[in-house]
A and B are shown apart, each in its own frame.
Chain A
Amino acid sequence: MKKFFGFFFRNNSLLLLAVLSAISLIFMKMEEADVIRRISTTGTGFRSAIADKIASYGYLINLKSENDRLLETNLSLVAKILSAEDSLRNEADRLRIISSKAEGLKPFIIARVVDRQFSNRENMLLIDGGRSRGIGTDMTVMTPRGLVGRVVAVSEHYAKVMPLIHADFKASVVSSESGTMGVLAWNGGREDMATVDHVPISSSLKPGEKMLTTNFSTFAVPGLPVGQVVSVTQGTLFSTVIIRLAVDFSSLNHVVVVPLNRDPEKIRLLEGKTESETDR
Chain B
Amino acid sequence: MKATTFRIAALLVLATIMQVFLMPRLSILHVSPDAIAVLVGFTAISSGRNTSMLTGFLGGMLTGLLSGQIGLLMLAGTGGGLMAGLFQIPEESHATRNVKTRRFFLASTLCSFTSHAIMAIGSNPLALSPAYRILVMGTIAAIFALLLAIAVRFLFMKKSFAD
Contact of B53 among A17, A28, A120, A160 (CB under 8 A): A17
Q: Report the interface size class on chain B.
A: 35 or more
Nearest residue in B to A36 (C-beta to C-beta)?
A: B70
Q: Is B5 engaged at the interface, CB distance under 8 Å to the other chain?
A: no
B-chain residues with CB within 8 Å of residue A168 when the two chains form the complex: 125
Q: Is B124 engaged at the interface, CB distance under 8 Å to the other chain?
A: yes
Interchain CB contact under 8 A, A167 and B53: no
Chain B CB within 10 A, most for which of A30, A36, A50, A122: A122
Q: Is A175 engaged at the interface, CB distance under 8 Å to the other chain?
A: no
- A186 and B124 CA atoms in complex are apart in Å by 12
Q: Is B95 engaged at the interface, CB distance under 8 Å to the other chain?
A: no
Chain A CB within 10 A, most for which of B31, B66, B116: B66
B-chain residues with CB within 8 Å of residue A267 when the two chains form the complex: none
Q: Report the interface size class on chain A.
A: 35 or more
Binds A, one of B20-28, B105-113, B149-157: B20-28
Interchain CB contact under 8 A, A25 and B125: no
A-chain residues with CB within 8 Å of residue B137 when the two chains form the complex: 120
B-chain residues with CB within 8 Å of residue A13 when the two chains form the complex: 49-50, 53, 82, 85
- How far apart are A115's CB and chain B's nearest CB, in angstroms? 8
Q: A20-B57, A24-B57, A28-B71 are in contact. Are A120 and B119 (CB under 8 A)?
A: yes
Interface string of A18-35 (1 = CB under 8 A from B): 001101111111110000
Q: Is A180 engaged at the interface, CB distance under 8 Å to the other chain?
A: no
- How far apart are A33's CB and chain B's nearest CB, in angstroms? 11
Interchain CB contact under 8 A, A40 and B53: no
B-chain residues with CB within 8 Å of residue A121 when the two chains form the complex: 67, 69, 119, 123, 125
- How far apart are B51's CB and chain A's nearest CB, in angstroms? 10
Nearest residue in A to B72 (C-beta to C-beta)?
A: A28
Q: Is A260 engaged at the interface, CB distance under 8 Å to the other chain?
A: no
- A30 and B127 CA atoms in complex are apart in Å by 24
Binds B, one of A41-49, A129-137, A210-218, A225-233: A41-49
Contact of B78 among A21, A50, A188 (CB under 8 A): A21
Q: A25-B71, A36-B70, A46-B66 are in contact. Are A122 and B125 (CB under 8 A)?
A: yes
Interface string of A61-73 (1 = CB under 8 A from B): 0000000000000
**SS of A interface (majority):** helix
Nearest residue in B to A191 (C-beta to C-beta)?
A: B126
From 97 to 133 in chain A, residues with beta carbon under 8 angstroms from any chain B beta carbon are 117-124
Q: Is A166 engaged at the interface, CB distance under 8 Å to the other chain?
A: yes
B-chain residues with CB within 8 Å of residue A186 when the two chains form the complex: 127
B-chain residues with CB within 8 Å of residue A123 when the two chains form the complex: 125-126
Q: Is A234 engaged at the interface, CB distance under 8 Å to the other chain?
A: no
Interchain CB contact under 8 A, B50 and A16: yes
Residue contacts A-B, CB under 8 angstroms, 6 given: A23-B74, A26-B71, A28-B122, A47-B21, A119-B31, A119-B126
Chain B contact residues, CB within 8 Å of chain A = 20-21, 24, 27, 30-32, 49-50, 53-54, 57, 60, 64-72, 74-75, 78, 82, 85, 116, 119-120, 122-128, 133, 137
Given A13-B82, A16-B54, A24-B60, 14 further pairs, Cβ under 8 A: A13-B50, A20-B78, A24-B74, A24-B75, A24-B78, A26-B71, A27-B71, A39-B70, A43-B64, A44-B67, A47-B67, A118-B126, A120-B128, A186-B127
